[in-house]
Structure 1
Amino acid sequence: MTVRFAAHKHEQLAPGMVIGLYGGSFDPPHDGHRHVALTARKRLGLDAVWWLVAPHNPLKSDAPERLPARVAAVRALIPEPGHVISSIEDRLGTRYTIDIIRHLTMRHPQVQFVWIMGADSLGGFHRWGHWREIARRVPICVIARGGSPLKWRLGKAARQLAHARIPAGHARALAKHGAPGWTYITAPLHAEASSNLRRGR
């Protein structure tokens, strides 16, 4: 069955656009999330980053903060242009990342999508539903803060996708490279953001 929905005005897409998809429960959103999104947009030359605020995280057992509150918190965290805060997963009723990726890539075949994740997510990527299909459908950009554990770069998914990795210096070509393809970018937080993160802000 095809799920249809009315796209919000800020979610309009045009052929040729390059869009980063940054998904998560963002419970709560913090400076680390902001750093990942800003770095990915700059290094990949993205037209926009879509923050896909999920109703829940299938890998977490704790009940998250209510979705409207988390959407509002993300908007407050990243007011800059070029960042779209979306609850599209809730409107579509999707449960897993692969569901929204299938929907967007089939609905917008002339838009180039890149999945964005932090290095911690790469470490557990092999536990995501249909993770291999995700890697086949969209290129992936991994953003690591300085000091990220080596084990995240050497996890099961990273090893199995090693053949498709492109150097961080070529990250701007990732979208055109297509899937499977991924890059690992190390970009330390600035001092203030790092301090806020350690304080739990």
Structure 2
Amino acid sequence: MPHCTPGMKIGLLGGSFNPPHMGHRLVAEMALRRLGLQKLWWMVTPGNPLKDHGVLEPLSERLRLSRDIAANPRISVTGFEAAHKIRYSADTVQLLKVRCPGVKFVWIMGADSLATFHLWQDWQDIFTAVPIAIIDRPGSTLSLLSSPAAQTFKKFRLREERAASLATMRPPAWVFLHGPRSSLSSSAIRAAEKS
């Protein structure tokens, strides 16, 4: 697990990163800047329970490629979920709250993930444990408005101009961030490599 101290504002960007790409870096750097974070943990998961593991590259390779792309001293690439045998994001959040008291974590994810967030194990526990920043993705803006997660927690949504205060807010609290968007996706990269 990367180093942290009480009071730090740290973003949590998890995913398979299969493969990682510059769109992931764009999200990480925008989150650091717009949310006023000191660090961001790029958490390479052992595997998403909702995705096919048959096309999953080894964790060591995804970590190596992620470190090459992240290339920012404020971004720590980590595979600690595998070391702790964590399968679900809600368990990751619970572990971090116990292991890192006083750290102000912010969960970061793309708008495309928000559309299916209600299918995640204990998804409401994530919303009530840490503030969440949703990053706009091409073709996903409208899914924000209609997703079950957005509807369930709509009264806790912050105006975008208040994004820098998100890390210090008591959850549930979330913000939707617009900005530069990348059309890159890991699944499209894998498909292009096959053809």
Q: TM-score surpassing 0.5?
A: yes
1:15 to 6, 12, 17: 6
How many aligned residue pairs are there?
A: 188
| 2:122 match | 130
Unpaired stretches in structure 1, ≥5 consecutive residues: 1-6
Match for 1:12: what amino acid?
Answer: H
| 2:75 match | 83
| 1:163 match | 155
| 2:180 match | 188
**How far apart are residue 146 of structure 1 and its match?**
5.1
* Contact 1:146–1:187 (CA under 8 A) maintained in structure 2: no
Residues 151-183 of structure 1, C-alpha deviations (whole Å, 9 max, x = no match): 233211000010110011100000111210000
Match for 2:103: what amino acid?
Answer: V
Residues 89-121 of structure 1, C-alpha deviations (whole Å, 9 max, x = no match): 010011100111101111212110000001101
1:51 paired with 2:12, answer no
Name segments (4+ residues, structure 1) moved above 4 Å: 196-199
User: Quick one: percent identity of the two aligned structures?
Assistant: 41
Match for 1:21: what amino acid?
Answer: L
Distance 2:41 2:7 in 1: 16
* Contact 1:118–1:143 (CA under 8 A) maintained in structure 2: yes
Match for 1:76: what amino acid?
Answer: D
Unpaired stretches in structure 2, ≥5 consecutive residues: none
Quickly say closer, same or farther: Cα 1:149–1:15, change in 2 above 3 A. Answer: closer
CA RMSD of aligned residues (A): 1.8
